[in-house]
Amino acid sequence: MKNKTIFVACDTSNLNKIKKIIDQTNSNKLKIIPKFGLQFFYSKNGRKFLEKFKKDFWLDLKINDIPQTALSALDSLKDLKKCKYVTVHANGGLEMLKSIKKKAKKINKNLKVLGVTILTSLNDKSLKEIGHTKNVKQLVLRQAALIKKSGCDGIVCSAQEAMMVRKRYKNLLIITPGIRLPGDNSNDQLRVMTPKQAFGNKVSGIVIGRSLTKGDIKNNTKKLADHLYK
């Protein structure tokens, strides 16, 4: 039953809440890996906690800078031995993506680099406001091509674009945020799907946050397992 990878978004700077999320999302039916973002990583105790963390985790930093600065940022993470995934943003361009992937191999042979495409809080209207002339689907495909060409291990995109990306790239890891259990509020996400819908679109893994971490975490985790396997 653990063939579907679930990343739980640990979006808080409260260390006790982080520990509670990790403990109460533990499941014998689901493969759940914690994902730590900027809020926790930048917090006073966040990095110290990750230095000593004993299980695989995803560090979602969305690195996006000139290649040398991006490389220096990645190099500063080499003491985080259990970091299995790290994100870089496709907006940084091909050379940055290639440099990050090359550096990652030297730091940790098990570290997978994921290229982030258009954030799930954006839609066609948002892109037009920024100045893009392409729509979400067109831009995600363009960014996916960059990510694949760079040698990165996977792509982060919404489940709504996952199927078209999978058709082009059969072996690329595809991980999708913007996931909500049926009936849950979409909040600030504009391109959302349920877990079952997302896995139906051939994704490798999903990121789920508030649907798991808000309220009764154990019960929410059970609801997720029932949703996927019943």
Give catalytic residues, as residue numbers.
62
> What DSSP element (H or E) covers 63?
strand 57-63
For residues 76 and 65, the answer to whether their CB atoms sit within 8 Å is no
User: Left if phi > 0, otherwise alpha if psi is -120 to 50, otherwise beta: which for 115?
Assistant: beta
> What DSSP element (H or E) covers 226?
helix 217-229
For residues 30 and 3, the answer to whether their CB atoms sit within 8 Å is no
Q: What is the DSSP letter of 193?
A: B
SS3 18: helix
SS3 11: coil
C-alpha dihedral sign at 154, 47, 32, 187: negative
Q: What is the signed CA dihedral for 223, 82, 154, 36, rounded to 10 degrees?
A: 50
For residues 83 and 49, the answer to whether their CB atoms sit within 8 Å is no
Which is it for strands 5-10 and 112-116: parallel, antiparallel or unpaired? unpaired
Q: Tokens 């979400």 — which residue?
A: 136
